Amino acid sequence: MRGEQDPHEQGHSHAHGPSAGLREERRPPQPDAVEVAPGVLRLQLEISLPGLGHVNCYAMTDEKGITLVDPGLPGPTALRDLTRRLRRADLPIERVHTVVVTHSHPDHFGQAGVLRERHGARVITHRNFRTWFDPDEEPEEISTDDIGAEPIATNARVATSEESAGRGGGGRGPWSGNMPWGTTTSADHAASRGRRRGGGPGRPPLRRRLQYMLMKRSGGLLGMVPRPTDRVEDADHLELGGRRWVAMHTPGHTNDHLCLFDPDAGVLISGDHVLPTITPHISGTGVIVDPLAEFFRSLERVGELDGVRTVLPAHGLEFHDLAGRAEAITRHHQERLQLLRDASADLGWATVPQYSTYLFQERSYGQMADSETYAHLEHLRLTGEAEVRDDGPELLYKVG
């Protein structure tokens, strides 16, 4: 099943042309706004990230103007795209008064800061919303030895779990470089494990934080990272588009992930938490001790919601069987855990990258594959199924 779509995963077959064979989330954006639920328009914004061809921005109107959910990537090109697509839907960007950000990845929060700065929009996030390139974040004391020439990558993450599992061959490929703090090394894994022993939350490498500081002072991050005006808690009620929504904290993909549920219309805006044919990246190098366990709990919670008739994801098209899709995603990750158990019988004590070759195709090798593999191995360790040695340059795991 390596590289093939899970037969339980949902998909839509009405795409035509060059993108017809692509999964929904990878297809280029549709040109026009579409009403996907009563009073909710979907605008697909162009992005160019590995594995993704668009991000869905949802628009709702009331007597005061427009609410947007996830207004795309940062930068002037993305702003022009958002402005143009809103105009085609007869929604002037100047009337945007509220922005909801489902989580702290740039393809979701991108234009929120600009909309607040230029148009006075409220910016609503979960209480935990924070990024490594937060405008209020100052780096620690630095030396010139910490400065590196590595380019900054702000296309934070992409869903990689959709790659079906199987043993990869050959050597390891180049690092993918898609996480905002740069390359993950064995030392990073060890540091991350150290955090789980009671240290503080993880931080990007010092040279990376210096680069962000310099960008901020030179205006390079102006308007990129929003300062939320409203930080909500789980179960808070929000008035958006003239209707009542319930905030649902769904950690796993990120610690601040937020879904929006309209119980009256039976609509869930699911962000990256539940996607139609792929699953979001589950990172082992964040601040959550066991992100996979949190993801499982969050999937179970949304899967038990009563009355959901329409799910509006951040990538791909709307779908309807929320419980079935949440169960399929959970099953996918349980199968990956079993692959690690089977791999350990072959490998014995092995590094995270060695285990990673059992979960990902060679084209996906790199820091994100390793990070997700690490999250799965740590889940097995924390549930008592795996052991780890961290007395050398690389972590070594043994399952069973």
Rounded to the nearest 5°, which phi and psi values hold at 319?
Answer: -145, 180
Q: Does 318 fall in a domain?
A: yes
How high is the mean pLDDT of the chain? 79
Q: Cα separation of 6 and 332, whole Å?
A: 8
Q: Decide: pTM greater than 0.95.
A: no
Q: Does 396 fall in a domain?
A: no
Cβ of 84: how many Cβ atoms within 10 Å?
12
Average of per-residue pLDDT across 3-19: 37
pLDDT digits (tens, 9 = 90+) for 261-310: 999 999 999 999 999 999 999 999 888 999 999 999 999 999 999 999 99
Banded pLDDT at 225 (limits 50, 70, 90): confident
> What CATH number does residue 275 fall under?
3.60.15.10
Banded pLDDT at 19 (limits 50, 70, 90): low
Instruction: Please name the helix (run of DSSP H) or strand (run of DSSP E) that holds residue 56, with its range, or none.
Output: strand 52-62
pLDDT value at position 182?
31
Q: Does 373 fall in a domain?
A: no
pLDDT value at position 133?
60
CB 12 within 8 A of CB 317: yes
Closest listed residue to residue 124, CA positions, set 101, 147, 94: 101
Closest listed residue to residue 118, CA positions, set 241, 223, 216, 221: 223
Q: Does 372 fall in a domain?
A: no
* DSSP per-residue letters across 143-182: -GGG---PPP--------TTSPP----SS-------STT-
Q: Does 164 fall in a domain?
A: yes
Percent of the chain with pLDDT over 70: 72
Q: Does 60 fall in a domain?
A: yes
Q: Does 145 fall in a domain?
A: yes
Instruction: Give the dihedral of Cα atoms 333, 261, 47, 110; nearest 10 deg.
Output: -120
User: Which residue range forms the structural domain that includes residue 96?
Assistant: 1-333
Q: How many domains does the chain have?
A: 1
Residue 12 pLDDT > 70: no
Distances (CA, A) of 258 to 115, 379, 390: 20, 23, 35
pLDDT value at position 286?
83
Q: Does 263 fall in a domain?
A: yes
